[in-house]
Structure 1
Amino acid sequence: MTLLAVERIKLFSTRSPWWCMALAMVITIGMAALISANTDDRFPLTVSVSQGFSNFGMVVIMVMAALAVTTEYRFGTIRATFLAVPGRVQALLAKTAVVALLAGVVGEAVAFGSWGIGTLIKPDADMAINSSAEWRNVAGTGLVFALAAVLAVAVGVLVRQTAGAVAILLVYTMLVESLIGLIPTLGQKIQRWLPFQNSTNFQTAGNESFMNETGGLDYPFGPWGSLVYFAAICVGLLVVALVVAKRRDA
C-alpha cells in the first residue's frame, strides 16, 4: 500500500496527468456534444453514436500513462525509486496499478459523460441503456482505458524516452492497425488479430453504427473473448517490459 501511495503522489505531483485527463474529457465529450447537436431523422442519436469518439480519449490517456514512466527516466528519479524499493518489479507494478486505475476512472467518466451530454442535448432521442451490448459500449470503456494504460506503461518502460514512446503509441493506434487492413488479401486476416481491433469489437459488437463500425471483420472471439485477448496482449507486453527493466541499468 505504501508503494501505491508513493506512486499516486508522484503521478499527481506533475501537471501532465491533469492536462491529459482534461484533454481526454474535452475532446471526447465535446465531439459527442457536437455530433449529438447535429443528428436528425436520417442519422438518429443512439447510445453507440454518443460513444463514437472514445478512442480519441483513450489515445490521450495512453500518452499520460507513458509519460508517467518516461518522465522518471528523463529526470533520473527512477534511480532513486529503484534504490528505495527492494525490487524493481514491485515499483513498476505499483506504478502500473495506479495509472491503470486512474485510466479506468477517466474512461468511465468519458463514456458516461458522452452519453449524458447526448441525453441533455436530445432528450427525445432513444438513449436508454437497455441491452448488454449497450452496457458494454458505455461501461466497458473504463476496462479498455485501463488495459490500454497498462500497454502504454509497458511501452514507456521499454523505450524510456518520451518522444519515442509517444510516437510509437500514436502511430500504432491511429495509423498502423487501420493501414494493415488495406493490404490486399492478407490485410483483414491480420487485422482481426490486432489488439485494438479486438478492444473495439468488445465495445461495439452487436451495437454497431457508422461511427464505430468494426468493418465486418470475422473476429476469432466474441466480445468478451476479444477483451480477454486484448488483456493478454497488454499484460504480456508488461511482463516483457518488467523482465527488461530488471536486467538493464536504470
Structure 2
Amino acid sequence: MILSRRTRIALRAAMVAGLAVVYLPLLLVLLNSLNRDRSFAWPPAGLTTQWWVRAWQSEGARSAVLTSLQAGAGATLVALVLGTMTAFAVQRHRFFGRQTVSFLVILPIALPGIVTGIALNAAFRTVLGPAGIGFGLLTVVIGHATFCIVVVFNNVVARLRRTFPSAEEASADLGAHTFQTFRYVTFPAVRSALLAGGLLAFALSFDEIVVTTFTAGPGVQTLPVWIYANLARPNQAPVVNVVAAVLVLLSVVPVYLAQRLSADSPGGRL
C-alpha cells in the first residue's frame, strides 16, 4: 500500500505519541529513584544513589523480591506443564469439545483480575480450608498459574500449527519409540516456544498484584504488593521508587527475550 508523505508523517507522529504516553512515566520512575529530593521536586535538585543503597538494605523489599521469584517460578513451572499438555491435546488430536477446551483455557486472561481473585479466594476457602490448608505461597502460585497457562498454551499452539507432524511420523516409521521421537524431533521444534511462553508467564506472575491480594496469606507479600503497601508512606517513597524501577528493569528482560524467541523461524533458533 502506497501512502502519501503527509500520511506517513502523521502515522509516525501518532506512533511516537503512543510510545511517549507509555514510556515517559516509566522513565520518570527511573529518574525519581535517583532524585536527591525526597519530595521529588521537578526538576531534580541533584542525583544520588543513596535511595538504591537504602532499598538494598530494606529487609522487607528483599523478602518481597524473594517471594515474587518463588511465586513466579512455581507458576511458570505449572503453566509450562499444563499449558504444553493442553496445547498438544488441542492441536494434535480431534475430540468432542476441543474448541470449548481451547476457549476455557484462554478465558482467564480476559477476565478482570478482581473477578478471578474473588473467585479463587472463595474456592480456596471452600476446598482447601476444610483440609487445613490456609492461604500462603501455594495459593498464590495456583492463582498465578490460572492466567500464566494461557501464554504458554498460545505459544505452543502457534508453534505446533507451523510444525507438521510428518517428521514425528517419519521418526516412528524408522523405529523410534515415543520418548525418542519427543526428545529428538518434537521437543527441538517447540523448545523456543516453551522458553518464550515460560518467560512471559514469569513476567506476568512477577508483576501481578490483584490476584495476589486475594490469594496470599498475611505473611506472604510479593514485590508489587510491597510497593502498594508502602506507596503512601512518605519515608518509604524514595525506596518505593527504587523498587519500582527494579521491577520495570526485571520485567523488560523476560519480555524482550520472549519477543526474540517468538520471532524465530519455525524450526527454532535454539
Instruction: Give the TM-score, by structure 1 length.
Output: 0.34
Of structures 1 and 2, the one scoring higher in RCO (CA 8 A, sep 6+) is 2
Structure with the greater alpha carbon radius of gyration: 2
